[in-house]
Amino acid sequence: MQKMLKRTKIVATIGPATETEEVIGQLIDAGMNVARFNTKHGTPEWHRERVQRVRKVAAEKGLPVAVLLDLQGPEIRVDLRDGQAFSVRDGEEVFFTFNKQSTEEKVIFIPENVVDTLQIGNFVLLDDGACEFEIVKKEDDFLMAKALGDFEVKTRKTMNTPGIVIDMPSLIDPDRVQLDGAVETGVDFVGLSFVRDKEDIKILRDELDKRGLKDTSIVAKIENQSALDNLDEIINASDAVMVARGDLAVEVPFEQLAFWQKLIITKCRLAGKPVITATQMLKSMVESPRPTRAEVSDVANAVYDSTDAVMLSEETTIGKFPVKAVETQAKIAAFNEEYETSYLDEWEDETDPSLVAHAAVYLMQNEENSIDSVVCLTETGNTVNLLTRFRPKVDVHALTSNELTYRKLALNYGVIPHIVEFAGGKIEEPNAMVEILKEKGIVKSGETVLVIYGTIWKTPGLTNSLSIVHVK
């Protein structure tokens, strides 16, 4: 029987350091459950070929590995004259403009609508907050800003405007090109950057539908104030959520970041939506074989917050120790999960699957039952989502005949997905079903198994039954 060494899942970003089949296999062995592809870098052809490699290696290992295509979204990147970086001193003034004919010595080129929107007294941050400016003067075609510190300004770095909403489309043309490129291989999740409200989710869902990708799940990335203001509707409209702490940490005061992380994770659990905690979790391992103490605490804290998954970015795209970074996250998660106490006393839905999931948790918490594992039959994964939000301390074996559901459930905390086939029709005898699972090695003799199922196999929405079975 496949036994889970950790219940928290790991999302690892594929890049130059990890693009070969050999290293992809090593990442899976180390604990990668979801392979992320960042479309800010690479062509659709590059991503398509690497997605195929992930699919091939995962199939050879007989393990579910989901694919997350992370769209760039409408981020603002600055341009410099001839791409040349320059240094500024505290209090020095620089110009922000859309006029490429500007003759100012230290000038930063930005879109016209950004110049139009910003006002005197607003703050501008570049390069994930490494450069901070305050707008001190505004004219029709430029902004004058005062540097708040000594730093170097580099070209093509991101620009953030904390507290100021810039009118920009939710998807840009390169995003649509990447979606076109995903049609051939298919992807399990699509990440939507800089989500502001549920309408952004709808726009992406419509684009997926147009391409025959309607069953692909949407991961809403929470990384600006608008998303926080509309958090509940975004969670409800999406299929999963990412706490994207890179941009979020410069959009809100940094002292608030841990608060928002905990709140987002809790709200996702209440709604039964998987949640990923991301950005710079083990960044020092880009260069070092060991994480810092603060990074170890950061990963552990996400586990204690009850996140479904933790993510690696530069650590596995360009890092010197990508496999070790995954192993490190896995070790931290596996140890701390045993001491995490997760309470969830409220839930938002009263559907049959939700009530069945809650009843299952009650049975697991009753020590007299001594449940060793859970087996849940699912077609869409919905019942599993509702169950695992309670973070059970035993393995949850999700049985499905749907390949897409099989891979998607790789993101859920504590879930071991399996592809199985049962005869169609009514399921009347869970003991007979468990015997089949024993033959497949999913359960074993002597175990006490909690089985969650519906009376009709492969029919979504009919999960309504629980049985405790002692495997002979």
Active-site annotation, residues: 36, 77, 221, 279
Q: Output the 3-class SS for the chain.
A: CCCCCCCCEEEEECCCCCCCHHHHHHHHHHCEEEEEEECCCCCHHHHHHHHHHHHHHHHHHCCCCEEEEECCCCCEECEEHHHCCEEECCCCEEEEECCCCCCCCCEEECCHHHHHHCCCCCEEEECCCCEEEEEEEECCCEEEEEECCCEEECCCCEEECCCCCCCCCCCCHHHHHHHHHHCCCCCCEEEECCCCCHHHHHHHHHHHHHCCCCCCEEEEEECCHHHHHCHHHHHHHCCEEEEEHHHHHHHCCHHHHHHHHHHHHHHHHHHCCCEEEECCCCHHHHCCCCCCHHHHHHHHHHHHCCCCEEEECHHHHCCCCHHHHHHHHHHHHHHHHCCCCCCCCCCCCCCHHHHHHHHHHHHHHCCCCCCCEEEEECCCCHHHHHHHCCCCCCEEEEEECCHHHHHHHHHCCCEEEEECCCCCCECCCHHHHHHHHHHCCCCCCCCEEEEEEECECCCCCCEEEEEEEECC
